Each structure stands twice: as structure tokens, then as C-alpha cells.
């Protein structure tokens, strides 16, 4: 079975448009959460969010292509271009490579659907009011299709959708494709755009933070006793995953190894997480990596800042720790970025890889008063430089009950 390495990464998040900007923000404890004017205009209860650049500049998309390229396509192209650059892959070589593409998005087509339907009704049901490019812009696999077209990726390509676990599951499928020997490389990750049409449903189910509309940078506060819900965000995060054989043949430096993966479903409730299932998926990933919880130096939690979810996740981590005496450092990078939904799993693997490679751990911002129930946990409240750890674990727990856990390991 082939080992799988990360050789390239690309990021657009509320913290910045590339790896360098995101690393700086992680180190500095910067918040990417701001007020979103259109949320206020339509009188949403929550008016804060994390807005990545929905119109990033790239020379790879010409005017003709842009007609059927929604923001998720633009964001994805810029992120993947950065990932290929870091992996030292020349764009002209891609069509001849044994490369597949597995992407993901959860709910990024709400605006396109809403605006097309509204325009059709407002014009007296005139079909000509709708662009002939509407379908390519609204289909869930639009970003994946754009990536395949722009970069000439000729292996299998498709989109996975599983709410908050979307891009983590996309990465897991990519790992399986490489482990099986079917492909030398897989480009994998996810993307999400932010709009009020998507936020509306989350407001209706009272999942979003509403107490910090006047101080948006304080709104995302995982594990804090005053947390009141998560903050929706947009972003794009993609990785180049590569077999050990390919890494050696190309003579490139791998950033880290994806050493363990695990996935399961709660099969209990549509929105409430389950500690037993969450613990089981972490244990499955540890078993796949042939590691124990004692080996894990850092856990990037799902940590959304919901009153129930944070407690369930830490209960699950405590179950996995058991009597082992393990004390992994725990934080939530969503405290800085908010929840990028379909992009968040891949983004947090990238964040974890940055910290694993550079040997630091970012702080959970806004953790002013940790919930008393979490007193046992090593919650990272201040930036830690010069730490020493070889393995990191990243959790993704989704509405609908899909759970995923990915373990990455330091390369010598």
C-alpha cells in the first residue's frame, strides 16, 4: 500500500489569499471575522462572517471562461495554482500526469439559484432573462469542473458533499485512490462562498452567533463559556497529495504525511453530534496510522463554538485519552477563520501541516473564560513557539452525522 504525502497546498481564507498570509495570521492570533453589510440589509439575526476574496485575480481564467465560472471556481483556481507551485509541478506537465481531482462544497449555490429564480419571476417568467450559463454556474461540481478544464486534469474528477465534513472526506477519498495505486497524485480539497441566502437557514435553526454583532472579531469563541454559536465563512483549500513513489521519482520535499484516516456516521440525530461516534472515528484514524493518542501532540478540533458541540467533542477526546495520561494541545482555528463549511476540513489540515512543519501552535482566540467543564484539557490560549510534536490530528464533524478524522505526521 502506497504511503501518501502532502507536497502542495493552496489557501484562500478570511485570513488571506495565500499560505504566507495565513501562517502570519495563525502566529499573530489575527481574527478574520468582520461585519457583513448584506446580512444586516436583509435583517439577519447574525450580521458577522468571515469573507474570503470571492474575486481573486488569476491570469488562468479569461473573459470567456469567467462567464460560467462562479466565485467558487475562481477561488478554487487560485488555491490550486498555489498548491501546484509549492509542489513544483509545471502547469504544462499536468495533462500527462496520472492525476485525479476530488473536490467538495456544501451549500455554495444558494445565491445563484435565488437570483435566477427571482429574475425569472420579476420579468414575467421570461426564459430569456436567464443566462445560458446558469447550469454550469449552479451545479454542485462547478468548481471541480472548472479546475479540470483550466489545469487539464484528465483523471477522474468529482465533488463530495457532506456538510462540514465535505473536504475532509474529499481528502480521505484522495488518500484511498493513491494508496490503491490508481493514481500518482490527487488534487483534493474544498471551497465555499458566503452569502445571505445560505446564512438564512443557519439563522433559522439558531446555529449562528448573534451576541457579538457589534464586535465581530470576538464572535467566534470556541470553548469559551460565553460562546453562542458559530460564524459562517467562505474560503478555498486544496492540497496536492502524492504517492511515496512519485515523491521519490520527482525528488521533491514532502511537507508531511497523511498517516491515518477514519470516517463514520452518528446515525442518531441530524444536527446534534455524538461523543461515542466522535471518539470512534478518532480511534479509527489512530489505528490506521498505527499510533496511539500518546503520539498526538496537537489536535485541531472541529470546535465551532456551539454550546453543545464543543462539549461533545471534548468529551469524545477525553474518551480517546482514557487512562493513557496523554495531554495533547487542543485549539480551534475556527476561532480565527469562522466556519468555512465545505472548505473547512481541508483548510484545517493545511493549518495543522503548517504548524507541524514549523513547530508552533496557534492560540484559540477569544478564549477569555474557558468553560469550567473543560478544565482538564490543554486548551491553547497563548501562541506557542518551538514546540516539539511529530503527529497532529484534525477533526471534522458535520450536520447530518458525517464524521471524519485525519492524522498527519512530520517528515524527517
As annotated, the active-site residues are 164, 302, 339
Angle between helices 309-321 and 275-289 (to 10 degrees): 50
Torsional sign, CA 375, 377, 380, 385 = positive
Q: What is the helix, strand, coil percentage profile of the chain, to 5?
A: 40, 20, 40
Contact residues for 128 (Cβ-Cβ < 8 A; gap 6+): none
Cell (9 digits) for 141: 461540481
Query: 3-state DSSP call for residue 292?
Result: coil
Contact residues for 353 (Cβ-Cβ < 8 A; gap 6+): 6, 9, 255, 256, 392, 408
Instruction: Answer left, alpha or beta for residue 386, where phi above 0 means left and psi between -120 and 50 means alpha.
Output: left
Report how far residue 380's alpha carbon sits from residue 330's, in angstroms, rounded to the nearest whole number: 6
- Position of cell 446555529? 207
CA dihedral in degrees (114, 116, 117, 122; nearest 10)?
Answer: 120
Report how far residue 331's alpha carbon sits from residue 351's, in angstroms, rounded to the nearest whole number: 11
CA distances, 304 to each of 6, 137, 277, 309 (Å): 26, 29, 18, 7
CB 361 within 8 A of CB 409: no
CB 169 within 8 A of CB 159: no
CB 328 within 8 A of CB 298: yes
CB atoms within 10 A of CB 85: 17
Report how far residue 131's alpha carbon sits from residue 376's, in angstroms, rounded to the nearest whole number: 56
Contact residues for 123 (Cβ-Cβ < 8 A; gap 6+): 129
CA distances, 238 to each of 19, 76, 191, 217, 370 (Å): 11, 8, 8, 26, 32
CB 194 within 8 A of CB 49: yes
Amino acid at each position: 500500500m502506497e504511503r501518501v504525502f502532502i507536497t502542495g497546498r493552496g489557501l484562500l481564507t478570511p485570513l488571506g489569499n495565500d499560505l504566507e498570509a495565513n501562517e502570519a495570521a495563525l502566529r499573530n492570533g489575527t481574527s478574520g471575522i468582520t461585519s457583513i453589510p448584506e446580512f444586516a440589509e436583509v435583517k439577519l439575526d447574525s450580521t458577522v462572517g468571515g469573507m474570503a476574496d470571492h474575486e481573486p485575480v488569476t491570469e488562468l481564467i479569461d473573459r470567456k471562461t469567467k462567464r460560467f465560472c462562479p466565485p467558487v471556481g475562481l477561488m478554487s483556481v487560485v488555491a490550486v495554482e498555489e498548491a501546484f507551485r509549492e509542489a513544483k509541478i509545471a502547469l504544462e506537465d499536468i495533462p500527462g500526469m496520472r492525476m485525479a481531482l476530488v473536490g467538495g462544497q456544501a451549500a455554495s449555490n444558494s445565491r445563484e439559484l435565488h437570483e435566477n429564480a427571482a429574475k425569472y419571476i420579476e420579468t414575467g417568467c421570461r426564459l430569456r432573462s436567464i443566462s445560458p450559463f446558469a447550469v454550469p454556474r449552479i451545479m454542485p461540481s462547478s468548481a471541480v469542473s472548472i479546475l479540470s478544464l483550466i489545469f487539464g486534469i484528465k483523471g477522474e474528477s468529482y465533488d463530495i458533499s457532506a456538510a462540514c465534513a465535505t473536504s475532509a472526506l474529499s481528502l480521505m477519498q484522495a488518500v484511498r485512490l493513491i494508496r490503491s495505486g490508481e493514481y500518482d497524485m490527487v488534487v483534493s480539497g474544498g471551497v465555499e462562498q458566503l452569502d445571505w441566502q445560505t446564512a438564512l437557514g443557519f439563522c433559522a435553526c439558531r446555529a449562528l452567533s448573534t451576541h457579538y454583532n457589534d464586535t465581530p472579531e470576538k464572535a467566534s469563541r470556541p470553548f469559551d463559556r460565553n460562546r453562542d454559536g458559530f460564524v459562517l465563512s467562505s474560503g478555498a483549500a486544496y492540497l496536492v497529495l502524492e504517492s511515496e513513489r512519485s515523491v521519490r521519482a520527482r525528488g521533491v520535499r514532502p511537507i508531511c504525511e497523511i498517516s491515518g484516516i477514519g470516517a463514520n456516521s452518528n446515525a442518531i440525530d441530524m444536527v446534534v453530534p455524538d461523543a461515542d461516534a466522535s471518539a470512534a472515528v478518532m480511534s479509527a484514524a489512530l489505528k490506521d496510522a498505527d499510533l496511539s493518542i500518546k503520539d498526538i501532540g496537537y489536535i485541531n478540533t472541529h470546535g465551532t463554538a456551539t454550546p453543545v458541540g464543543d462539549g461533545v467533542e471534548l468529551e469524545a477526546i477525553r474518551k480517546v485519552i482514557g487512562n493513557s495520561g496523554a495531554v495533547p494541545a487542543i485549539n480551534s482555528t475556527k476561532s480565527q477563520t469562522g466556519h468555512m463549511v465545505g472548505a473547512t476540513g481541508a483548510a484545517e489540515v493545511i493549518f495543522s501541516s503548517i504548524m507541524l512543519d514549523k513547530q508552533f501552535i496557534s492560540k484559540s482566540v477569544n478564549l477569555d473564560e474557558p468553560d469550567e467543564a473543560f478544565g482538564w484539557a490543554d486548551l491553547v490560549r497563548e501562541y506557542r513557539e518551538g514546540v516539539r510534536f511529530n503527529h497532529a490530528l484534525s477533526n471534522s464533524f458535520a450536520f447530518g452525522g458525517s464524521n471524519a478524522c485525519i492524522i498527519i505526521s512530520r517528515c524527517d
